[in-house]
Amino acid sequence: MELRLDRLSVALGGTAIVRDLTLAAPAGSVLGLVGPNGSGKTTALRSVYRALAPSGGVVWAGERDLWRQPRREAARTVAAVIQQHQTHLDFTVAEIVAMGRHPHRGHGGPLDADEERLCLEAMARVDVAHLADRGALTLSGGEMQRVLVARALVQQPRILVLDEPTNHLDLRHQIGLLSLIAASEVTVLVVLHDLNLAAAVCDRIAVLADGALTAVGSPEEVITAATLKTVFGVDGEVVAHPHTGRPQVLFAIPAPPDTEGTPQ
């Protein structure tokens, strides 16, 4: 299902955080959202999973305005993997994953056999099946992150939005998650800080700065030394990955101006 932001504006406490953002992710594609801190990436995502109402513009899911349909229906279309997991209760991993079925059920009764299987598959897919009976408050950040991905999968969305999904993940699970995203048939909108990961997994990348779109295109078009300089304010080089040809960003950390007397 196509996800389209049509002149989306979002304000927080009267301040415009996202301004006039127009972006489209064709059905089944992976659209990356990159940009410096405070550029409005997360805020734009929040108006897609209906945590924050747009102050202007429309979020289209296919032919339907996401904000003009019942919340539960919207949650059957869009699932989100977000940074905040603030539960004070020690739910088990299996319970948290099962909550992904809430938009389809609306009650707290037991899962049926199909739903049970769906949950088990999702947990296996992100490598948390062995944690099913563990309390969520005892998990590491990376384990929790994978549990939240499993919950989003169980939601069976047509559109998946992820905010920094590789945060806390070790290298193996970063690559695991990104290959899951790349192979997925759902439409994906993903905020990533790591430009190399974004270049590796995204079909198209949108660059936000100060709440507005500054560039959008294929990784090759967008991840350039010029973008690094103008948007992020850093000097770097962009080379092609030897096997995939995708852009790779290389940095040299400038040496301190005076290293004399520095303890070994």
Would you tell me which residues interact with other proteins (CB under 8 A)?
46, 49-51, 70-76, 78-80, 82, 84-92, 94-96, 99-100, 102-103, 105-109, 116, 120-121, 123-127, 129-130, 132-133, 135, 137-138, 152-153, 155-156, 176-177, 179-180, 183-186
Give the nearest distance from C-beta 199 to other proteins in angstroms: 21
CA dist list (Å): 137 to 88, 95, 96, 134, 168: 8, 13, 11, 9, 15
Give the nearest distance from C-beta 150 to other proteins in angstroms: 10
Q: Which is nearer to other proteins, 133 or 258 (CB)?
A: 133
Q: Which is nearer to other proteins, 148 or 223 (CB)?
A: 148
Give the nearest distance from C-beta 134 to other proteins in angstroms: 11
Give the nearest distance from C-beta 188 to other proteins in angstroms: 11
DSSP lists the bridge partners of residue 212 as: 209
What CA dihedral angle connects 139, 144, 150 and 156, to 10 degrees?
140
Spatial CB neighbours of 42, under 8 Å, sequence gap ≥ 6: 83, 163, 191
Distance CA 64, CA 79 (A): 16
Q: Answer for the pair 97, 154: CB distance below 8 angstroms, yes or no.
A: yes
Q: Which is nearer to other proteins, 28 or 36 (CB)?
A: 28
Give the nearest distance from C-beta 222 to other proteins in angstroms: 26
For helices 171-183 and 141-154, the axis angle rounded to 10 degrees is: 10
Q: Which is nearer to other proteins, 24 or 180 (CB)?
A: 180
Extended beta strands in 13-51, E state: 15-25, 30-34
